Amino acid sequence: MDRGKQLIGQSLAFLDASERASRAAPLNRPVLVIGERGTGKELIAEKLHHLSQRWSGPLVTMNCAALPENLIEAELFGHEAGSFTGASRNRQGRFEEADGGTLFLDELATLSSAAQDRLLRAVEYGEVTPIGASKPISVDVRIVAATNEHLPNLVQKGRFRADLLDRLSFEVVTLPPLRDREGDIELLADFFGRRMAVELDWPNWPGFSKKAKERLESYRWPGNVRELRNVVERAVYRAEDPEREVEKINFDPFRSPWAPRIKMDSEVEAAELDAADEDSEIAAPSATTQHAKLDTDDFKASIAEYEKAVISHALEKNRYNQRATAEALGLSYDQLRHAMKRLQLNAEAT
């Protein structure tokens, strides 16, 4: 099964962006695709290509951020043998490779000023000149470009050419982040979950528990759909019983009691990080407990009381074993002892 070709969603925000791409696809004009990482910019580029009259031609992709600045121009426009050190033979650039088709330029905002100048000429005149060549080459290429940057702001800062932006922005398709796609999180989670269940040869798809669905819905998804797919597939893969609803969700696969220590500003920050994940060995004290103890008239006292509640709760969960408690909180043993002394917190057992 092709893992990266589906555009799935039912929210109005998503459908509006998808419809905008569909309307622009048949036109032989540049399109800019804007969105956060993981929102599906490359999928929109593929849709623009396959719904255009160029569908039978090549779709060539180039990540502008993946190459050193001194190689981007050679990669885009090609080079002649001997034009620079290491150029042992003639090489076509991406523009020539995409002749008759579509060139998708990902991470457009990372292009150097020199590359922007040459790209502008290619867009305006349909010509590219390989490095070291004396004559330009005519190319017939439609450009689709993507970025997660606000390009008009970069123009104001002098980091992007205004005339190039004008040429590329015939249409702008802005993809909504997953957190703003109402109803799509559950839809996508079910799709990715079913697909992973098939890959694991499960007899059927039991779905997610109510608690798991609530956690998926409440998460902010900084990595958007790409992150959701990873989280869902990991949850299904780690589920122990294929006949029961998937319940455990782990948003951070790097979380481990043996992971390298992270330098924290305070012990309570470490405790809060561990309490945020379901797979942690402890949970934060209940909201009722916290609010009962906090003195909002004294900020420092409130923080100390909350910190004391977190550590007390962790000690209880770990049967007052201080080394186990420190590990569960992501603290060193000395950090825990220091915090207990500062908070005048005595362990009932050791």
For the packed helices 299-317 and 267-275, what is the interaxial angle rounded to 10 degrees?
A: 50
**Which residue type occupies 149?**
E
User: In whole angstroms, how large is the CA radius of gyration of the chain?
Assistant: 27
Q: What is the CATH number of the domain that holds 288?
A: 1.10.10
d(C-alpha 180, C-alpha 327), whole Å:
36
Total domains in the chain come to: 3
DSSP string, 143-199: EEEEESS-HHHHHHTTSS-HHHHHHH-SEEEEPPPGGGSTTHHHHHHHHHHHHHHHH
Q: What is the pLDDT of residue 82?
A: 62
DSSP string, 271-296: HHHHHTSTTSS--PPPHHHHHHH--T
- For residue 321, name the pLDDT band (cuts at 50, 70, 90): confident
171 and 187 fall within a common domain? no
246 inside domain: no
223 and 212 fall within a common domain? yes
What is the Cβ-side half-sphere exposure of residue 307, based on CA atoms within 13 angstroms? 21
Single pTM value for the model: 0.73
Q: Which of 176, 192, 227 is the last residue of a domain?
A: 176
244 inside domain: no
Residue percentage of the chain with pLDDT more than 90: 59
17 inside domain: yes
17 and 134 fall within a common domain? yes
210 and 305 fall within a common domain? no
Residue 217 has pLDDT above 80, yes or no: yes
51 and 144 fall within a common domain? yes
Average pLDDT, stretch 321-340? 84
245 inside domain: no
189 and 324 fall within a common domain? no
Residue 325 has pLDDT above 80, yes or no: yes
Q: Which of 190, 218, 238 is the last residue of a domain?
A: 238
Average pLDDT, stretch 318-339? 84
95 inside domain: yes
Bigger pLDDT: 299 or 193?
193
197 and 213 fall within a common domain? yes
Q: Which of 10-19, 156-165, 194-203, 291-300 has the lowest mean pLDDT?
A: 291-300
Q: Which of 131, 156, 176 is the last residue of a domain?
A: 176
335 inside domain: yes
Q: What is the pLDDT of residue 298?
A: 66
Q: What is the pLDDT of residue 330?
A: 81
106 and 216 fall within a common domain? no
Please write the tens of the pLDDT for every residue from 89-134.
788 889 999 999 999 999 999 999 989 999 999 999 999 988 888 8
Under 8 Å between Cβ of 313 and 293: no
Residue 151 has pLDDT above 70, yes or no: yes
Residue 269 has pLDDT above 70, yes or no: no
- For residue 283, name the pLDDT band (cuts at 50, 70, 90): very low
- For residue 289, name the pLDDT band (cuts at 50, 70, 90): very low
Pairing of strands 137-138, 127-128: antiparallel
254 inside domain: no
**Structure token digits, residue 202:** 């499960």
Q: What is the pLDDT of residue 287?
A: 46
168 and 69 fall within a common domain? yes
- For residue 67, name the pLDDT band (cuts at 50, 70, 90): confident
Bigger pLDDT: 331 or 220?
220
Phi then psi for residue 284, to 5 deg, are -70, 155
260 inside domain: no
Bigger pLDDT: 286 or 168?
168
State which residues form the domain around 195.
179-238
146 and 192 fall within a common domain? no
- For residue 343, name the pLDDT band (cuts at 50, 70, 90): confident
Q: What is the pLDDT of residue 320?
A: 83
